Structure 1
Amino acid sequence: MNYVIIGGDAAGMSAAMQIVRHDPTASVTTLEMGDDYSYAQCGLPYLIGGLIDDPDQLVARTVETFRRKYKIDARTRHEVTGIDPTARRVFGEHFDLTYDKLLIATGARPFLPSWEGKSLDGVHTLKTIPDARRLLRELKQDVDNVVIIGGGYIGLEMAENFAARGKQVTIVERNSQLATIFDPDLAEHIHAEAEKNGIKLVFDQEVQALGGTKRVEEVVTDKQTLPADLVLVAIGVRPNTDFVKGSGIELSENGAIKVNAFMETNLASIYAAGDCATQYHRIKERDDYIPLGTHANKQGRIAGINMSGRPRSFKGIVGTSIVKFFSLTLGRTGLSKREAEQHGIPYQAVTAELPQHASYYPGAEKLLIRLLYQPNTGQLLGAQLFGRDGVDKRLDVLATALYHGMTMQELEDLDLAYAPPYNGVWDPVQQTARRK
């Protein structure tokens, strides 16, 4: 069986490893448009901030490892420009390959609007190791004022890491809050943390142009002009699927490839996984697009298992994510109020601020928890958590509860770990659930 995989990162190589393990006679070719395979994109901000010394620390397996140890024909600088599903072939500028089964795992690219000045030196996006290397080179120059356009997760992480390098950081956000995946009133805690750490926040302003001669010198919004020695654009990503248009592969509105639970597209023998594909959302009960490394690795694994003839379905996502922002940890899973309203899902919410462990034990910190639930059944719909310690533990409990459709009462019944350094006799999640 001749397998071709387009994309050499999380989804693509997770699939490739499953095919190698389950089909010993497989011929596997992977096509990567860049030079780097299997690297941790989520670690790039910490490389910029200096917590990670060397980009090579972010590489899980090198190209040579895939070639020599796993006998995968792992190719670099092979950008696929088209697919012919009838002839079962993929092609690029210097190559033309046939396949029995094909996986599209091309990920996503940062979105950069057609602003005047977007090509000036000093204007960056961050998605790949080469992106990070360019940023690191420029930060060694005379860079003081950094403007980040976009207040999502990447914007927050990069604000912290630019600040760690002693830069003056401004975040420009078109909305009235940072991190719009959280409820607006809760986002005020993020704003306070930003301002406490010297981050300037600019809300409700649209960037219209980037100014300068050869190098960027300013960011022009619809209300003011901000000085900038370096600009990072972090306003979201778009699926890398332009090359499949006209092939007959069905796409969603945003360009992500539609897949079923087995990672199959609408065309025979063609699969898709990761940031270029849709993900089924268990709470919304519909396809969604939430591009995260966790989903990419799972979908890639499922795709590889199915391609090698062992049917297994992808069970979907519940929208879980977490981010560190200075001393604050932000976590969420399921639906926010805005999402519930957008999808016409009735909800009620309960919010509590409680110590993350026994209040008498030294070091107790407040943990803010908001739970959304279905009014009639009590079924959990979503959760948002803010705190300095203990967020990750509770977030994963709530994500598991969401996955299994648990109710608020069933949260109370959980047998959770207790000792004074770690918890109270009633976990904060359970205490919050009891307040509904």
Structure 2
Amino acid sequence: MKVAVIGCTHAGTAAIVNTAKLHPEAEITVYERNDNISFLSCGIALYVGGVVKDPHGLFYSSPEKLAELGVKTNMRHEVTVVDTKSKTLRVRNLATGQEFDDTYDKLIMTTGSWPIVPKLEGIELEGVLLCKNYDHSNTIIEKAKQANKITVVGAGYIGVELVEAFQMNGKQVTLIDGEDRILNKYLDPEFTAPIEQSFKDHGIKLALNEKVSSFAGEGGKVTKVITSEGEHEADLVILCIGFRPNTELLKGQVDMLPNGAILVNDYMQTSCPDVYAAGDSCAIHYNPTGKHAYIPLATNAVRMGTLVARNLVTETIPYMGTQGTSGIKIYEDNIAATGLTEEGAKAEGMDVETTMIIDNYRPEFMPTFEQVQLKVVFDRATRRILGAQILSKTDLTQSINTVSVCIQNKMTIDQLAFIDFFFQPHYNKPWNFLNTVGLEALPTSVPSKEAVTV
């Protein structure tokens, strides 16, 4: 069985390693257009901020490690054409320019995503950078040494992490976003407001509700970011606007979402039976809505890549879908979220209720105790849990993984109130805060005996 893999980051590495172990007879060939594989891009801000001193720790595989499994990895090779009918590939060696053809029995598409680059005047100026891969991170670090005023465009996870890193390195930082809140896709206003205040307290300039219209410069170097509301001086600009799937190779050959994300079934199979896909190039089954969605996360990618290998020959383990669970640490605040926010649920046209608590996470008789803020979103009619968010100075983020399981298993807010959690004063109260938020949502009255029907 000839297996061709296009792209080798999170999903690709997981698919390759597991395919090699599960199908030792397979002839696996990997095509990767970069000069490195398996880079943990979620660690870029830590690298830029100096928390991670040795960037080699951000790589968890290599062509040499894959070779030990019998895998042939072609670095700096770009697949330019895929023909799913003839099962052929056209490949260009980026080092020599040589082109050649290859064939496959099974094709694994793990081509990932690429930053959205708007067509704006001045975007080609020196000092306007992207933030996605290892080369980008090295360029950012090098350019930042000579920069004093740094502007980050895009207030998603990567953007806010970079803002914190630059500020901690002594830079004057501006964060621009077209929305009126940071992290608006992941958190509701009750959670973004304290983070925004923390940014302001650290001297970061927030330019929210501003759309970038162009960049201005002198001598070919960027000096200003021009928005719908004014101008911001900048020696360096980092674009973190978002990502789109890299799927042009299969356009018109497999089913996709309008944004180009590949649709796969429960076994990671595309609409073309011998073509499988995983990771940021794919749509995922989003359990809170029951629909396909584009949520590029490393956790989704490694799960999907592993399932590709498990289902490549025989359907064995179906994909369970995802809640889009994520977490972030900004200064002293530990934040995590899963599923839908209240705003996200309403945007989907869903009729929801919410419950939120602000409580000390462990007994007040302990020497120290920090507040925890927890919000749960649930369906008004069925009371099924749809999402949750947490914020605390103490790291309580793992509790969001528990709520993720609740969403996965279609549990209700009422059931959350009475789940069995342990009690130990070092860690929590007799009523765990997950129980407490469920108790807060219980009806304030119970039906009379006469109203209860058997």
When normalised by structure 1's length, the TM-score is 0.97
* Residue of structure 1 in register with 2:137 after alignment: 132
CA–CA separation in structure 2 for the residues paired with 1:277 and 1:258: 6
* Residue of structure 2 in register with 1:199 after alignment: 204
Question: Aligned AA for 1:88?
Answer: K
Moved more, 356-365 or 193-202: 356-365
Please tell me the root mean square deviation across aligned C-alpha atoms, in Å: 1.3
Question: Aligned AA for 2:4?
Answer: V
Structure 1 position 405, deviation (Å): 1.1
* Residue of structure 2 in register with 1:243 after alignment: 249
- Which of 324, 328, 337 matches 1:323? 328
Question: Aligned AA for 2:37?
Answer: Y
Which 5+ residue runs of structure 1 have no aligned equivalent?
A: none
- Which of 279, 287, 290 matches 2:284? 279
Q: Deviation string for 1:222-272 (max 9, x for gaps)?
A: 2211100110111100101122224x1221111111111111111120011
Q: Deviation string for 1:42-77 (max 9, x for gaps)?
A: 11110000011122111101211111x111001111
Q: Deviation string for 1:181-209 (max 9, x for gaps)?
A: 22234321121111122211011111011
* Residue of structure 2 in register with 1:261 after alignment: 266
Structure 1 position 137, deviation (Å): 1.3
Structure 1 position 393, deviation (Å): 2.4
**SS, match of residue 21 in structure 2:** helix
Residue 99 of structure 2 is aligned to residue 100 of structure 1: no
Structure 1 position 364, deviation (Å): 1.1
CA–CA separation in structure 1 for the residues paired with 2:16 and 2:417: 42
| Match runs of 1:34-53 below 5 Å | 34-53=34-53
Structure 1 position 409, deviation (Å): 2.1
Question: Aligned AA for 1:158?
Answer: L
| Match runs of 1:19-34 below 5 Å | 19-34=19-34
Matched length: 433
- Contact 2:327/2:335 (8 A) holds in 1: yes
Moved more, 278-287 or 91-100: 91-100
Moved more, 297-306 or 396-405: 396-405
| Match runs of 1:319-398 below 5 Å | 319-398=324-403
Residue 146 of structure 2 is aligned to residue 147 of structure 1: no
- Contact 1:418/1:425 (8 A) holds in 2: yes
* Residue of structure 2 in register with 1:177 after alignment: 181
Moved more, 283-292 or 324-333: 324-333
Structure 1 position 300, deviation (Å): 0.4
Question: Aligned AA for 2:85?
Answer: T
- Contact 2:13/2:61 (8 A) holds in 1: no
- Contact 1:416/1:427 (8 A) holds in 2: yes
- Contact 2:417/2:437 (8 A) holds in 1: no
* Residue of structure 1 in register with 2:223 after alignment: 217
CA–CA separation in structure 2 for the residues paired with 1:380 and 1:21: 38
* Residue of structure 2 in register with 1:431 after alignment: 436
Question: Aligned AA for 2:238?
Answer: L
Structure 1 position 120, deviation (Å): 1.2
Question: Aligned AA for 1:84?
Answer: D
Question: Aligned AA for 1:203?
Answer: L
Structure 1 position 343, deviation (Å): 2.0
CA–CA separation in structure 2 for the residues paired with 1:40 and 1:360: 42
CA–CA separation in structure 1 for the residues paired with 2:121 and 2:365: 58
- Contact 2:116/2:242 (8 A) holds in 1: yes
Q: Deviation string for 1:332-376 (max 9, x for gaps)?
A: 111111221122222111111011222221221111111112223
- Contact 2:373/2:390 (8 A) holds in 1: yes
Structure 1 position 411, deviation (Å): 1.2
CA–CA separation in structure 1 for the residues paired with 2:367 and 2:238: 40
Structure 1 position 27, deviation (Å): 0.3
* Residue of structure 2 in register with 1:76 after alignment: 75
CA–CA separation in structure 2 for the residues paired with 1:359 and 1:125: 47
Q: Deviation string for 1:156-188 (max 9, x for gaps)?
A: 111111112111111011111111122234321
* Residue of structure 2 in register with 1:2 after alignment: 2
Question: Aligned AA for 1:232?
Answer: I
- Contact 1:147/1:170 (8 A) holds in 2: yes
CA–CA separation in structure 2 for the residues paired with 1:242 and 1:263: 19
**SS, match of residue 434 in structure 1:** helix
**SS, match of residue 206 in structure 2:** strand
Moved more, 124-133 or 414-423: 414-423
Q: Deviation string for 1:408-428 (max 9, x for gaps)?
A: 222122222321121111111
Residue 93 of structure 2 is aligned to residue 88 of structure 1: no
* Residue of structure 2 in register with 1:57 after alignment: 57
Q: Deviation string for 1:117-155 (max 9, x for gaps)?
A: 1111111111110111111111222x1111000111111
Structure 1 position 219, deviation (Å): 0.3
- Contact 1:193/1:328 (8 A) holds in 2: no
CA–CA separation in structure 1 for the residues paired with 2:250 and 2:168: 41
CA–CA separation in structure 2 for the residues paired with 1:296 and 1:72: 20
Q: Aligned pair in 2 of structure 1 residues 264, 21: CA closer, same or farther (>3 Å)? A: same
**SS, match of residue 135 in structure 1:** helix
**SS, match of residue 13 in structure 2:** helix
CA–CA separation in structure 1 for the residues paired with 2:438 and 2:120: 47
* Residue of structure 2 in register with 1:167 after alignment: 171
Larger radius of gyration: 2
- Contact 1:273/1:303 (8 A) holds in 2: yes
